[in-house]
Structures are given as structure tokens and as C-alpha cells.
Amino acid sequence: MAASALGRLRRRAEGFGTVEPSHYVFAAFTPKFKLNGNRMLDGVTDYKITAFDPNRHLHSWRSAWRTLTKKAGLKGFRFHDLRHCAITQLAENGASDSTIMAIAGHVSRRMLERYSHVRMEAKRTALDALAASTKTAGYDTKHDTNLANAPAYRA
């Protein structure tokens, strides 16, 4: 997913001109026209703000993140919450603890547990799978109770 996002950023950067290895992935915005509110004017036509300087890095993305999350209806959503979400999804999809720890850079099981939050739906699914497997094997509660009361088991 991250590689895909970086690929889209590169294609976007290529739309602005040549891409060099020394260019920043998160380039600084550089207005090229006079600003009029949130639009640029060249005297004839209005242009959306799309100019970036790939030789300078973005100094802060905090205001951009806040604007993005507010417009998406996720006010208060932190960038770091994405890390928790990714680790939880890895765990729910069956990745081993050692694999998750390697991906996330965790050095202890305690840190992994801090970031992994098993959702209620995943718990229900796991319990439903357990219930289904025990019924097909013949180990449901009614079966076990009846066997325990059978004369052969009371010896």
C-alpha cells in the first residue's frame, strides 16, 4: 500500500517536470502566480495551486493533515492512528507476531500488544469459527453433558 502511494506521488511529480533522485518526495509548495484567496491569477486565467519545488522539502504537514481529516469528517484523527490500524489489520489477517514485530520495528511483545487492537468483529468471527468446528467434531455442550451422565462415564 505504501509503495502504491509513493508510486502515485512520483507520477504526480512527473506531471510537473523531470524527476531526479535528489528530489524530495514531499516537496515544498511554491506559488508561481499572484494569490487571490485560494486561487492564483496570471492576469488572464485562474489556476488551481499546483506548483511545488522538488528541491525543497515540506517544512510541516500538520496544517495539511488537519485540513484533510476535517474535510473527510475525521477531525482529531491522528496520522499515528494509521500505524495502530495497520498493525491491527495484520494481526486480524493472521500474520505471525514475529512478522508484525519485524514490519513495525517493535523489539518487544509488550510494544506489539500496545499497538495491536483486536476488534470486536474479529473476536466474534473467531468464536463463531470455534463453535462451528466443535459442532462438526461432535464436541458441543449438549453432547459432552449427555456423555458425562452416561453410566460408562460414572464408573
The answer on pLDDT for 44 being more than 80 is no
What mean pLDDT value characterizes the chain?
Answer: 75
pLDDT of residue 26: 78
Instruction: Please give the average per-residue pLDDT across 93-101, as a whole number.
Output: 88
- Which stretches does DSSP call E strand in 4-154? 27-29, 34-36, 39-41, 46-47, 52-57
What global pTM score does this model have? 0.44
The answer on pLDDT for 94 being more than 70 is yes
Percent of the chain residues topping a pLDDT of 90: 1
C-alpha to C-alpha distance for 115 and 83, rounded to whole angstroms = 8
C-alpha to C-alpha distance for 58 and 71, rounded to whole angstroms = 21
What would the pLDDT profile of 15-40 be if each residue is shown by its tens digit?
777 888 888 887 777 665 555 555 55
Work out the burial of residue 91: count CB atoms within 10 Å of its CB; fewer than 13 is exposed, 13-18 middle, 19 or more buried: buried
Contacts for 118 with CB less than 8 Å, ≥ 6 apart: 88, 91, 92
What would the pLDDT profile of 48-90 be if each residue is shown by its tens digit?
555 677 888 877 778 778 877 888 888 888 888 888 888 888 8
pLDDT of residue 146: 58
pLDDT of residue 39: 54
